[in-house]
Amino acid sequence: MPTASSRIQAVDIHEGDWETPGSVKLWKYTIDGKTEVFKERIHFDDKEKCIIMDGVEGHALEKFKKYKGIFQVINKDEGAFVKLTLEYEKHNEADEPPSQYLDFGAALIRDIDEHLVKAA
């Protein structure tokens, strides 16, 4: 992943491996010019073509009680697109929504798309 986007500095496996549901990874990334970490437990929904990243700890969980990223691949004509959904629970109603994380996810998807097109 770090070779596909300069936004990602490292991804380390803490439990399991790259493919096994329930595996835990620690992501180090840059968002809004700051380095952050996100530890997630990964799940897959093959029927819906989803990768689900449940937050376990990290900067996002300092801001939110719960944080989950869902990446879904949707086939369209001869290609596909990726839908990103963020599920989160605020600590307080007055807290801001995670717009910086949504922007980060969209930029990351664009980076990966560009990387894959160049590699094709």
The CATH number of the domain holding residue 58 is 3.30.530.20
In this predicted structure, the answer to whether residue 1 has a pLDDT above a threshold of 80 is no
CB 39 within 8 A of CB 56: yes
Q: What percent of the chain has pLDDT over 90?
A: 70
Number of domains in the chain: 1
pLDDT given at position 59:
94
Answer yes or no: is 74 within a domain. Answer: yes
CB 90 within 8 A of CB 75: no
Answer yes or no: is 99 within a domain. Answer: yes
Mean pLDDT in residue range 16-44: 95
pLDDT given at position 82:
87
pLDDT mean across residues, the chain: 91
Answer yes or no: is 91 within a domain. Answer: yes
Which residues touch 45 (CB under 8 Å, ≥6 apart)? 52
Answer yes or no: is 67 within a domain. Answer: yes
Q: What are φ and ψ of residue 3, in 5° steps?
A: -80, -15
Answer yes or no: is 51 within a domain. Answer: yes
More confident site: 80 or 27: 27
User: Hey, what are 54's tokens?
Assistant: 């449940």
Answer yes or no: is 70 within a domain. Answer: yes
Answer yes or no: is 68 within a domain. Answer: yes
More confident site: 4 or 45: 45
CB 9 within 8 A of CB 29: yes
pLDDT given at position 108:
87
The domain in which residue 96 lies consists of 8-119
Answer yes or no: is 60 within a domain. Answer: yes
User: Hey, what are 22's tokens?
Assistant: 């329930």
- DSSP-assigned beta bridge partners for residue 55: 40
Mean pLDDT in residue range 49-67: 95
Query: Nearest to residue 108, comparing CAs of 57, 63, 53?
Result: 53
